[in-house]
Amino acid sequence: MLVRQPGKDFSPRQDDQWPLTGTDWSRLYLHTDGSLQTDRPAAASQLTYDAMGDGLTFLSAPLTKELHVIGPAAANLRISSSTADADLFLVLRLFTPDLKEVTYSGSNDPHTPMSHGWLRASMRKLDPERSRPHRPYHALDEEQALSPGQLYDVQIEIVPTCFVAPAGYRIGLSLRGKDYEYPGDLSGVNAAIGQPFTGVGPFRHTDSADRPPAIFDNRVTLYIDPASPPCLLLPVVPAQSSVRSQV
């Protein structure tokens, strides 16, 4: 694999296991103040957002040391919706010490964040035999409509990622009701796809037939319960020099 590092060339890395040898499954808990912390929240609370807006973003404190994040990730959330369904768009992000977002040139877009995760809440049913904590596997064989206002636990796969977060940088997680949009300057970008490269290439969830406003232009509430707090599960691995590799 090629490991992404801010301001540097991608560096090659090899291993004979997946997830990688020595993976430390690190949990960051979502807090009401918008932080990501290793400590669980102490009190119950909730946050509500407009699903057609920018949603919620949670940030870690500045990292005290370099962090290698390589492998599959996941998020466990407890949510309710004001309607019979909800589309959940998760974005794993990286920010510089002065809170400028780090993106890379991906296969479909020059402004690709660290990773994405998606789930339509009515398709939340898991396949228990195939699911793992770091990779929830959805059965996709049954639609389970939501009852407005009722609480549901959802597990969301975040596409495997591969990056180094330097000391002083911050890890971010956004919970949105629409596609990620690169926050930087797009005025000088001439996109071959006929629209600006906003971070997701041509793959956008804007079809009103698939996302009728009566259902998806809704309000989503995230519940923060100390007994079962929302969390981001990250694959943190040792630096290259301390793992077994095939050269």
Q: Is the pLDDT of residue 241 over 60?
A: no
Give pTM, 2 decimals: 0.92
Is residue 53, in this structure, part of any structural domain at all?
yes
Report the pLDDT value the prediction gives residue 247, as an integer from 0 to 100. Answer: 34
Is residue 109, in this structure, part of any structural domain at all?
yes
Report the pLDDT value the prediction gives residue 188, as an integer from 0 to 100. Answer: 60
Is residue 199, in this structure, part of any structural domain at all?
no
Domain housing 65: 22-182+216-239
- Total domains present in the chain: 1
Is residue 210, in this structure, part of any structural domain at all?
no
Is residue 225, in this structure, part of any structural domain at all?
yes
Is residue 11, in this structure, part of any structural domain at all?
no
Report the pLDDT value the prediction gives residue 101, as an integer from 0 to 100. Answer: 95
Confidence tier at 243 by pLDDT (50, 70, 90): very low
Is residue 69, in this structure, part of any structural domain at all?
yes
CATH of the domain at 60: 2.60.120.260
Mean pLDDT of 5-22: 93
φ, ψ dihedrals at 123, nearest 5°: -110, 30
pLDDT digits (tens, 9 = 90+) for 124-180: 999 999 999 999 999 999 999 999 999 999 999 999 999 999 999 999 999 999 999
Is residue 194, in this structure, part of any structural domain at all?
no
